[in-house]
A and B are shown apart, each in its own frame.
Chain A
Amino acid sequence: MTDQTAAGGVVLAADGTPLKASLNRALRRNRIRAVMLVAPLLLFILFSFLIPIFDMTFRSVDNWHVGTLMPKTSAALAGWDGKDIPEEPVFVALVADLQAGAKSRQIGKVGTRLNYEKSGLRGMITSSARKSKRLKEGPYKAKVLKMHKKWRDLETWAVIKRNTAPYTIGYYLNAVDMKYGQTGEIVMQPENRRIYGKLFIRTFAISLAITVICVILAYPISFLLATLPLRYSNLLMIFVLLPFWTSLLVRTTAWIAMLQSQGVLNDLFVFFGLVDDENRLQLIHNLTGTIIAMTHILLPFMVLPLYSVMKTIPPTYMRAALSLGANPVVAFVRVYMPQTLSGIGAGSVLVFILSIGYYITPALVGGTDGTLISNQIAYHMQSSLNWGLAGALGAILLASVLALYLLYNRIVGIDNMRLG
């Protein structure tokens, strides 16, 4: 066994090839094998997760409608200074675009897009497109201005010109309760139209509340689970996992039966005289209902990481602390609890992130003041079909979760997080 070293100091393998290259070749097989093993999952994640996320995020800034469907108008407006209603050439282009759009039946999309920025513009575009079919010759300016009063509004033209750009931050402004003002500056929405900011704050507050409640409820259970003899702890574990094995819908409807004003809980309260029959508590279809039902569903996600961390803490630590003279409370707080922090962190991150995006339970039991941001996203996806706004709301949610995650990593360290 002699080392072979070439002139340049490169170590050579027995056949004279550089050792590095030789090693790489040997490792390549392993690497290919590893890639093959994860490939199915990677593909699945790519198509079911990454591509949809990119698509929705792209939609939140995509602004193709005006530029693509009204190309002539867009070009003609490029040189407009915004000080006055545009001149005849713009109207020539506009009429051509409206006629083409009416013929291809695509013009409605422009209307819908412009309507997000300023209400009433969809009506203006669709009616004008219909009427434009009858316009045979110019000059068009006066005729178009007569078609709809909004054409005579300078702001309408500002909106159109702004949206000739291929990308927009309009959806994001909308998602944080802002909008463009009359002269194109960014302003807050009027007080009565600010909804998303409040909803974001409510979502975070509810998620935080649920996380805190979960920690408080899960800590003693996990402690019991980790310290009880196996035979009892297994039984207890089944009770903890039971919610996992029941359908989400069944559980949620069970809570409706339990909590509604003629439900089991209220009947019991009345029976024991805690509340009188006329003033039954409103426990469901509001914030309370959302918090109760979601805590129930998410509790196992707190119990499991806590349990797995507590399971690894030998009882000798507590005994050592006691033998050193600490009373049981001090020993628990100073010796036991700090060692469970990684479990609390892991469970909290899990529960918080899950509840931030929770959808079905708040939709069923949340009423009006118990719905979360995800319910609004679903509404814009399914009912209003404003996918751009849905994408913007979703992207903000995603970004804030990632930010929290990074914050957690900075403070606690993700390596310290133990899930099982």
Chain B
Amino acid sequence: MSDASDTLVKFESVQKSYDGETLVVKDFNLDVARGEFVTMLGPSGSGKTTCLMMLAGFEPATHGEIYLDGVPINNVPPHKRGIGMVFQNYALFPHMTVAENLAFPLQVRNMGKSEISEKVNGALDMVRLGGFGDRRPAQLSGGQQQRVAVARALVFRPQLVLMDEPLGALDKNLREEMQYEIKHIHEDLQVTMVYVTHDQSEALTMSNRIAVFDDGIVQQLAPPDELYEKPLNAFVAGFIGENNRLFGEVKAIDGDFCQVELEGGGGMVKALSVNVDGVGSRTTLSLRPERATIGAAQGESTNSLEAKVEELIYLGDHIRSRVSLSGNDEFIVKVPNSHGHVHLKEGEITQIGWEAEDCRALDA
């Protein structure tokens, strides 16, 4: 996001209400750079599709302005926006063959016959479906239909492609395969993509940046690693990846760190002060399971608490241990199955330790 001419899409305090009573999207701001892959990630009903529809032109924004390439597009009809779109159920035209589907955007642009067939074949090859041009969409598998939909959204070389949960209907293996395929297409064509999903691993795999959506606003907009390692609030911490939460009250703030008294009677812990309202406020401590060590001797880590082992699940590369700690019996610790790791038994009392930098004090 260096320079304004690099910005392809810009949402400027966009709001949307369907019924005039509730705001589905509240004050949405987003800049997408040319060539970037930005994902909108959020639970179902958080307004992701609505934002995409406003960008594509199928829903008017109630307030605010959307810019495409520096031009406000609120009054540009969808067919003049030149945005490619992949729908969740693909929306391949059932009465046309695959080739006709791909030729459609080119025909409405009055392209010549030979140019059309050349581009259609190119697009089919790109998604590895050469030779499938004469089939009807209904004669293709889900994954193949998906690829046709992607090819169709790209065949007319739009500068921007939108995808609304395009992999939602596929099974797990196919979904992962398609994630890489779409990512590679994005890299090869240098096209800007705005992608919508509720699947966090999909978002982490594919995106340059992720906008985490909840309750109609962007909770955090950041690259995947930053989102995972430095969540700014309790929602993001809980939504991305696995997360242990402990509640407590801020007792003292000391520079970047704060002292928190746990609610479950676990005592005082030291945490990174990220998003707290000051001394005396309630806070949520967030700790990734892989950052806690089990069976640590007292004093080895900054924080060390007594815990009871509730359940052990053997997962091959690591042992997932559920312990109860400071009144939270859903506390997860991952014990790597390395040489000489601690051997625990269910019901055993042990020590759990973690560093203050790994434990983020967030909003309650």
Shortest CB distance A411–B (Å): 15
**A304–B81 alpha-carbon span in the complex (Å):** 36
State whether the Cβ of A420 lies closer than 8 Å to any Cβ in chain B: no
Q: Are A331 and B93 in contact (CB under 8 A)?
A: no
How many chain A residues touch B (CB < 8 A): the figure is 19
| 8 A Cβ contacts from A290-335 to B | 314, 316-317, 319-328, 330-331, 334-335
Does A400 count as interface, using CB distance less than 8 angstroms?
no
| Contact pick for A314, options B58, B89, B108, CB 8 Å | B89
Contact of B108 among A316, A324, A338, A339 (CB under 8 A): A324
Cross-chain contact of A322 among B78, B89, B152 (Cβ < 8 A): B78
Q: Nearest chain B CB to A343's CB is how many angstroms away?
A: 13
Q: Is B172 at the interface (CB under 8 A from chain A)?
A: no
Q: Is B156 among interface residues, defined by CB-CB distance under 8 A?
A: yes
Q: Are B87 and A324 in contact (CB under 8 A)?
A: no
Cβ contact within 8 Å between A324 and B152: yes
Which of A316, A317, A331 touches B79 (beta carbons < 8 Å)? A331
A326 engages B104 (CB within 8 Å): yes
> In whole angstroms, how far apart are the Cα atoms of A303 and B105 in the complex?
32
Report the separation of the CA atoms of residues A323 and B56 in the bound assembly, to the nearest whole angstrom: 7
**B95 in the interface, Cβ–Cβ < 8 Å?**
yes
Alpha-carbon distance between A331 and B93 when the two chains are bound, in angstroms: 11
User: CB < 8 Å: which of B84, B89, B94 contacts A323?
Assistant: B84
Query: In the complex, A320 Cα to B137 Cα: how many Å?
Result: 15
Is A339's CB under 8 angstroms from B94's CB? yes
Q: Does B45 touch A at the CB level, under 8 Å? A: no
In angstroms, Cα B105 to Cα A338, docked, is 17
Complex alpha-carbon distance, A314 and B77, angstroms = 20
Q: In whole angstroms, how far apart are the Cα atoms of A60 and B153 in the complex?
A: 64
- Distance from A77 Cβ to chain B, minimum over Cβ atoms (Å): 66
Q: Which residues of A (170-202) have their CB < 8 Å from a CB of B? A: none
Minimal beta-carbon separation of A328 from chain B (angstroms): 7
Q: Are B91 and A338 in contact (CB under 8 A)?
A: no
A340 CB, min distance to chain B CBs, angstroms:
10
| A319-B58, A323-B85, A324-B108 given; A338·B152 CB < 8 A | no
Residues of B within 8 A of A330 (CB): 108
Inter-chain contacts of A327 with B (CB < 8 A): 79, 108
- Distance from A12 Cβ to chain B, minimum over Cβ atoms (Å): 39
- B212 lies within 8 A of chain A by Cβ: no
Contacts A319-B58, A319-B78, A331-B79 known; A324 to B105 CB distance under 8 Å? yes
* CB <8 Å contact, B93 and A325: no
* B83 interfacial by beta-carbon distance below 8 Å: yes
Ranked nearest first, the 6 interchain pairs of A and B with the lowest CB-CB distance are: A324-B105, A320-B91, A323-B85, A316-B91, A326-B108, A322-B78
B contact residues vs A (CB 8 Å cutoff):
56-58, 77-79, 81-85, 87, 89, 91, 93-95, 104-105, 108-109, 152-153, 156
22 contacts between A and B (CB under 8 A): A316-B87, A317-B91, A319-B56, A319-B78, A320-B87, A320-B91, A321-B93, A322-B77, A322-B79, A323-B83, A324-B105, A324-B152, A324-B156, A325-B79, A325-B109, A325-B156, A326-B79, A326-B108, A327-B108, A328-B79, A334-B104, A339-B93
Q: Which residues of A contact B (CB under 8 A)?
A: 314, 316-317, 319-328, 330-331, 334-335, 338-339
